[in-house]
Structure formats: C-alpha cells, structure tokens
Structure 1
Amino acid sequence: MTYNSIRPGKTWLDTNGKPIQAHGFSVFYNEEEKLYYWYGENKEKSKGGPFNKVWHWGVRCYVSRDFYNWEDKGLIIPPQPDDLHSPLHPTYCMDRPHIIYCEKTKKYVAWLKIMAGEVSQFMTIMQADSFMGPYEFVHKIYKPLKMDAGDFALHVDKETKKAYIFFERPHFELITATLSDDYTEVNGEFSEHYENLLPPYTREAPTFFEHNGRKYLFTSGTSGYFPNPSQVAVFDEYHVEYTDLGNPHVGDDTNTSFNSQITSVIRIPGKELYVACADRWKPGKMVTKMAPQIINGMKKHFADYKPNREPLEAQPLPGTLQKHSENTKKSTYVWLPIEWEGDKPVIRWRDEWRMEEFD
C-alpha cells in the first residue's frame, strides 16, 4: 500500500505491508541524506496477558523520503535474549529510546529508559559510529544525579552544542539536566520543575522542541497506558522556571489528548510546519470512557505516596523473567500538525491531512 496522506489513529503499514513497530518513538530528519528516521520500541513479539514475558524486541528503525511511506530497516539496537543480566534482555521494560549526535566525539549516543521488576528505574547509555549501529554499552545501569529516571527527552542546542535531558523523577517532579561534553552522562547542573505532584498530575512523557527562538515542552499526566490531558510549557533558558500554557489539544471533548500521548515533535524542512507525533497506546472508544475512572483510581492509590528524595545507588538487574500484562503491540500513531495561537502551540483533530496543505 502506498500512502499520500496521514490518517491519525489508523493502522500504519510499512512498505512491506506490515504494521509499523516503533513505539515510544522519535523522528528526526537527516539534512544531508534528505531522509526521515523513525525509531522506537519494537513490540512484534509482545502478547500481553499473564504469561507474557517479552516486553520488547529491540529498537526498530524505519526511513522515509516523503513522511508518508516508511521502509523497515530492521533493528538498530537488537535485544539480548540470552543474557538475563543485560538491560536489553526482552523481559525488561526498555522504553522511549532517544538518539543524538555528538559533534565532539563523532558518535551517535543512545539513551534508553529501563525498568526491571522491583529494581528502580534507570538509564542505559550506548554509542555508535553510525546511526544504524552497532551500538556498544557506555553505561549499562546509570542513574542521572543518582535519581530514579522515568520518561525522558534529549535535546542538543544548535548554537552552543550543549545537550540536555528532561526526565520524570517518578512520581513527583520533572528534572532538566545538562549533559557532559560527550553526551553520555550528566554534568551536575540541573533544575527542578513541576515539583511535589503525585499521579495522575505528575508530568511524564516530556517532549521538547523550539519555535521562533522559544523553548517548549509537551508533557502528559501519569495514568499508565490510559490517556489523559496534555500540558505545554514555554521557557527561554533551560534552567529557569517554566510558564505553563495549559492543554494544547483544542476541541478534545474526551480530555484524553485525542486518546494519545505525544512523544516527538518534528519540523518539516522547508516549511513552517511542526508535527506532534504521538502514540495511541490503547486504540478503541472504550478507552476514552474508562480513562476518567482510571485517573480517579490513581488519585486514590497515590494519595498517601511519599516519594524518596534521597540519592539512589544503582541496583543489579534481578536476573529473572518478568511478567507483563500490558499489550501495546497493536498500538497506533496519532500525528497531527501544530497550529499557533500567539505563542501557544495548539493541536486540532483531523481525520486525514497532507503536508502539502501547509505550503
């Protein structure tokens, strides 16, 4: 099947006719190659249910020249199913891979969020000479600032070449931290945002982008794989207080961000067009009806939660198979153009749209 438009929420097939398996993803454009790269969690072997012990099957990458049709290029970071002491074993929760390029070292640096049973959340950092790999470990288990680290985003400043990480400190605040010169660690400089919140209000899934010299951050509330209202903040420096602009989704009667969670923003080259790219983790109308109940349940569950603010040392992996009831294999994607109301980015629902509409 050949596409000439984007249909948010519909099953998206690659050029081989198979559903695209790149969830919790990022999309970026290589200017030299004139090529888009879309990479994310490969869920092809995940099933869900009480006997499922496979969370992921590596990081899969797709490429496109037109933003509509995507060719499967395979795994750029494969799983390590024979090593239960590897953070890349498919039984552990590897989420939201992000890759940035370091001009100083000429390396592509990948950060991966890992959760492993009762082991607290941490990052795995890898690097490679080529975007397509092979990637080698720099840190198998790494806690930035000795903090638990959840959903995150990476960004390289075009002017200074400094890099930054925005990550949720589960489940009570968002951290912005400056990376080291080689982008493989934090350098100790950080700031705290959205402090002292509890689920479902804690901010997760941070997604950074810039527009007209200003910095923006989309975030989601915390309600598992059930959708909730997004928020967007604006700021002019990385470590200053953020100004909250509210919910960017206009006309969203379900209050679920159109049943999606933003994970990447890409600017289309040659156009003043920014696209908010999101996962629809649980397709179906029933999800939007259940979401308010789930959110109310989160409020009650975390009412007495006391977050640990103390530095946490890295713990070893459990070395045992984990059970996963969630099934995100059939998740779809909601990609929508960003519009502007003054300095505020807003997103409106479209059943179908084309980039050519924005010439």
Structure 2
Amino acid sequence: MTYHSFKPGEPWLDTDGKRIQAHGGSVFYVDGVYYWYGENKEKTDGKNGIWHWGVKCYSSTDLYNWKDEGIIIEPEQDDETSSLHPSSCMDRPHIIYNERTKKYVCWLKIMNGFDEQTETVLTADHILGPYTKVKEGLRPLGMSAGDFDLAVAPDGKAYYYFERVHSETICADLTDDYTDVTGYYSTHFPRVHPPYVREATAHFYRNGKHYLLTSGTTGYLPNPSEVAIADTWHGPFIVQGNPHVGDESNTSFHSQISSVLKVEGKKDLYIACADRWLPNEMHRDYETYAEMFDLIYQGRKDDFNFSRMGETPVENTAIADYVWLPIRFEGERAYIDWRDEWTLDEFE
C-alpha cells in the first residue's frame, strides 16, 4: 500500500504491509532521509509480560511511506536483570547526534516501579546501529527520572528535559559526550501529584522561542496536553494552556504527543507526533480519572467509587495507532487542530 496523505488515528502500515512499531518515538533527519524510531511493541499484548521487543526504526523520503529498517537496539532475552530484557519497562527512546564525538547517543527510560525510574544510555556510529550500552541504572542528578526529551543547540551543547517522577520538570545540561548530566539544571512546572505532574515532554525551537509540549500523568490513558514557551533553554517557561483546539474529550484527541518534527524544506511546518496507545478505550473519561487522583492524594480514597473506572484496560499496545497533526501558530501561540486527513502540500 502506498500513502499520499496523513490520516491521524488510522492504522499506519509500513511498505511490507505491517503495522509500524515505533511508539513513544521520534524522527531523525540524515542526508535526505527521515528515520522514525521508537518502542517495538509487536509482541506486547498486555497479558504475556512482554513490555517491548527492542527499539525499531523505519526510513522514508516522503514521511508517508516507511520502510522497516529492523530492530536497532535488540532486546536482551537471556538476562532478566538487563534493562533491555523484554519484561523491562523500557520507554521513549531518544537519539541525538554528537558532532564532536561523531556518535549517535540514545537514552532510554526504564521504569523499575511506580516511583523509581532510571536511564540506560547507548552509543553508535550510525543511526541504525549497532548500539553499545555505556550506562545502565543512571539516576540523573540523583533523581528518579521519567519521560524526557533530548535537544541539541546550534553550538553543540545538549539539554535533557525530564519528569522528576511525580514532582516537576527538570532541564539539565548534558556533558560534552551527551552520556550524562553536568550537574547544572533548572526546575519547572511543580505540581502536587498526578495526573497534573507533566510527562512526555517534547521540545522544539521556533523563531527564537523554546516550546515544551507535555501531558499529564495518567499512564496510557490520555489527558489534556499543555504547551509552554520561553526565551532560553532553561526558561522561565510561560504556560499557554491546552493547544488542542475543540478537544471536548480533554484527551488531546485521544493521544499523547511523543515528539515534534520540524519538516525539512517547509517554511514553518512542525508536526506533533503522537501515539494513540489504547484505541479500543476511547470511551474513557479523563475527569473521572482526575477526581480519583485528587481524592487519593487528599487521603480520601474511600470516598471514590472505583467501579466508575470500569475494568482495567488490557494494554495491547501492539495495536496502538499514531496521530500526527501539524501545529498552527498565531504569533507565538501554538495550536493543534483535528484533521481527518492532510498533506505536506498544504504548507509552503
């Protein structure tokens, strides 16, 4: 099947006719080719204990049609203690290129429990690998570090935006080789508890401004996004509110943004790349979820009727879909409108 447009929320197949498995992912542009990489969930049915099957990558020259380039970071099946074992909760790979060391550097979030999350760092000579682990069990700044994004400035300095688990957002400077933090950091968006704590941070830069798109902390169930803007890497960031226009469901169009892609050759086209993790659970109500958290953190858990939440969803993320939508700007403000279908030709 050949695609000529984006159809957000519909199943997206690769050039072999199989579902694209690049969840929680990002797109990297190298020498005229786009590389879309992310969590490989092809064996994850929500029942078998397999959280991931490595990191998979696809290539494209038109952003519509994607060729499977294989698994670039393999699962380590024989070592149950490895952060890359299929049962390990490995999420949100992010890859940046270090011009000085000529290395591609990949960071992975590893969930070791509700409140304990660490990072695994790998390097490679090519975007498609092979990747070698250089750090495992990393606690940046001594913190439990959750969802994140990596970004490189024009001068080669790199930054790491992450959720200090269930607390606040941190912007930390990376070391010259991008495999650790220097110790310098700033704090942003302190919140009292989930679901208001920000996660899934996605950074992009436009017209001298730094933007952060974030979601709340409700697991795979979606919630309202938030956009913030600043003049510098470390802020201060001014929250602009929910960018999803007309989203009455308060679920970011039933999706969670993982990254923002600036399209090469287009004057002002930025794509918010999002996952629809649970396409069979679009009936769920975010407001009920938020009320539950409020009562729990007030010590009033017994006041909430948990039957209102319904049955726990089966997290069959192998069938997760993608919601790619262009970001619309009015001055500095960023908005995301729903589109059933759209093309690159609509933009200069």
TM-score range, shorter chain: over 0.9
Q: Which moved more, 1:264-273 or 1:62-71?
A: 264-273
Q: How many residues of Structure 1 are paired with residues of Structure 2 in the alignment?
A: 335
Q: Paired residue for 1:181?
A: 176
Report the TM-score, using the length of structure 1 for normalisation: 0.90
- For residues 235 and 118 of structure 1, the distance between their equivalents in structure 2, rounded to whole angstroms, comes to 31
Q: List alignment gaps of at least 5 residues for structure 1.
A: 306-323
Per-residue CA deviations over 1:41-89 (Å, capped at 9, x if unaligned) read: 000111113xx21100000000000100000000000100100121100
**Gap change, CA 1:119 and 1:168, over 3 Å in 2:** closer
Partner of 2:143: 147
Match of residue 158, structure 2, among 155, 163, 174? 163
Contact 2:328 2:336 in 1 (8 A): yes
**Structure 2 counterpart SS, 1:227:** coil
TM-fit CA distance, 1:334: 0.2
**SS at 1:245's partner residue?**
strand
Paired amino acid for 1:349: W
**How far, CA to CA, are the matches of 2:103 and 2:299 in structure 1?**
44
Rounded to whole Å, the distance in 2 between the matches of 1:165 and 1:255 is 28
Match of 2:80 in 1: 84
* Structure-1 separation of matches of 2:105 and 2:190: 29
Once residues 335 and 114 of structure 2 are traced to their aligned partners in structure 1, the CA distance between those partners, rounded to angstroms, is: 38
Tell me which residue corresponds to 1:309.
none
Where does residue 316 of structure 1 map in the other structure? none
In structure 1, the partner of 2:309 is none
Matched, 1:58 2:54: yes
Partner of 2:310: none
CA distance in 1, matches of 2:114, 2:244: 35
Of 295-304 and 176-185, the range deviating more from structure 2: 295-304
SS of 1:39 mapped into structure 2 = strand
Q: Could you tell me how far apart the structure 2 residues matched to 1:246 and 1:229 are?
A: 9
Q: Where in structure 2 are the equivalents of 1:1-359 lying within 5 Å? A: 1-30=1-30, 32=31, 34-49=32-47, 52-117=48-113, 120-158=116-154, 160-271=155-266, 272-284=268-280, 286-303=281-298, 326-359=315-348
Cα deviations across residues 181-202 of structure 1 (Å, max 9, x unaligned)? Answer: 0000000000011114311110
Match of 1:320 in 2: none
- On the 8 A contact 2:94/2:106 being kept in 1, the answer is yes
Equivalent residues of 2:115, 2:144 under 8 A apart: no
Q: Which has the higher contact order (CA 8 A, sep 6+)?
A: 1
Corresponding residue number in structure 1 for 2:306: none
SS of corresponding position for 1:150: strand
Q: 2:222 touches 2:251 (CA, 8 Å); kept in 1?
A: yes
CA-to-partner distance for each residue in 1:100-150, whole Å, 9 max, x for gaps? Answer: 011111111000000134782100001011111111111111010010000
Distance 1:130 1:303 in 2: 50
Q: CA–CA distance in 2 between the matches of 1:11 and 1:56?
A: 19
CA distance in 2: counterparts of 1:2 and 1:288, whole angstroms: 31
- Between the aligned residues of both structures, percent identity stands at 55
Q: Secondary structure of the residue that 1:29 maps to in structure 2?
A: strand
Shift of the alpha carbon at 1:288?
A: 4.1
Is the 1:254–1:288 Cα contact (8 Å) retained in structure 2? no
Q: Label 1:130 to 1:43 Cα distance change in 2 as closer, same or farther (>3 A).
A: same
Flag structure 2 segments of 5+ consecutive residues without an equivalent: 301-312
In structure 2, C-alpha distance between the alignment counterparts of 1:84 and 1:214, rounded to whole Å:
44
Shift of 1:22: 0.8
Q: TM-score, normalised by structure 2?
A: 0.93
Q: Tell me if structure 1 keeps the 8 A contact 2:195–2:293.
A: yes
Whole-Å separation in 1 of the counterparts to 2:238 and 2:148: 19
Q: Is the 8 A contact 1:92 1:117 kept in 2?
A: no
